[in-house]
Amino acid sequence: MTGWKRFAEREIRIGWGFAAPGMLLLAIVMGFPLLYACLLSVSSYTLMKPAILPIVGVDNFATMMANERFWNATWLTVKYSVVTVAVQFVVGLGIALMLNRVVRTKPIYFAILTIPMAMSPVSVALIWRMLLQPNLGIINHLMETIGLPRFDWLGSPNLALWTMAFIDVWQQMSFVILILAAGLASLPREPYEAAEVDGARPLQQFWFLTLPMLRPVAAITVIIQLINEFRTYDLPYVLTKGGPGTATEVLSFFAYRQAFLGLSINEGAAAAFVLLVIVLAMTVVFFAMLEKRAKG
């Protein structure tokens, strides 16, 4: 027993020895910027007065939360994330159910679905920005040919956020489809065969069999996508610069605008930390669900 204990301790020391260089590099690359941002969020540092001291504590957070634009950005982020994830899940589940019935050409469909997912958000935003250009864009040109009026898709306060949400759904839905399709393919066939023998209709099978068995995969997919949507920065930066006005100023872009356009690095860091807390909370929920599923 003593020999086994010594062997286990030796294995642990060897494991830590191999992991130490990578962990040290990770601590330098991620830990130092995080600590520095934390220090900035409680300091009096601005681009006009670049000095850490004096430390002002939570004053930056209080100033930020007294700003109506912060609450507008938070509300826009929540609304944008919930709507985009809901549409991605509902439409993605429908497409995944259809693909689950395809046998021969399924690899072709999956190859097509990976194209938007493989593109960077910046390139996607640039492409759609040209397509939606109010005067020269092909979307408005096609609408005119069928007798519909032109729209300023990215310049209208009422349309800009939902146009950006549509572009986001167009790119991100491929990921949702692939994950849900993999989940559907892994479901056992025996319950469906028993349900068919009992005379259950396809809708009843979907509601009482598919959805309950797919719930863990669906929940994980929703959490991952919510985390991604809360961190959205590329699309508003390239498409609208947070405009028109503050119509598309989500929380990540609000932090950027406060830090680099408002010359208040400390308030920008505070806004970024609020976003970090939200994303961390979602990540904790995500891993808790993974652990629960593993134990189940």
Q: What does the DSSP assignment read for 136-198?
A: T-HHHHHHHHTTPPP--TTT-TTTHHHHHHHHHHHHHHHHHHHHHHHHHHTS-SHHHHHHHHT
pLDDT of residue 2: 62
Residues 260-288, mean pLDDT to the nearest whole number: 86
Residues 220-230, mean pLDDT to the nearest whole number: 89
Beta bridge partners of 43: 55
Beta bridge partners of 55: 43
Least confident among 99-108, 124-133, 142-151, 262-271: 99-108
pLDDT digits (tens, 9 = 90+) for 17-46: 888 888 888 888 888 888 888 888 888 887
Beta-carbon count within 10 A of 95 CB: 17
More confident residue, 293 or 84: 84
Band of the pLDDT at 125, cuts 50, 70, 90? very high
The CATH H-level superfamily of 67-295 is MetI-like (1.10.3720.10)
Beta-carbon count within 10 A of 10 CB: 10
Least confident among 144-158, 163-177, 190-204, 280-294: 280-294
Does 1 score more than 60 pLDDT? no
pLDDT digits (tens, 9 = 90+) for 246-271: 999 999 999 999 888 888 888 889 99
Q: Tell me the pLDDT of the chain averaged across its residues.
A: 87
Q: pTM (2 decimals)? A: 0.86
Q: Residue 115: name the closest of 171, 190, 162 by CA.
A: 171
Q: Are 265 and 46 in contact (CB under 8 A)?
A: yes
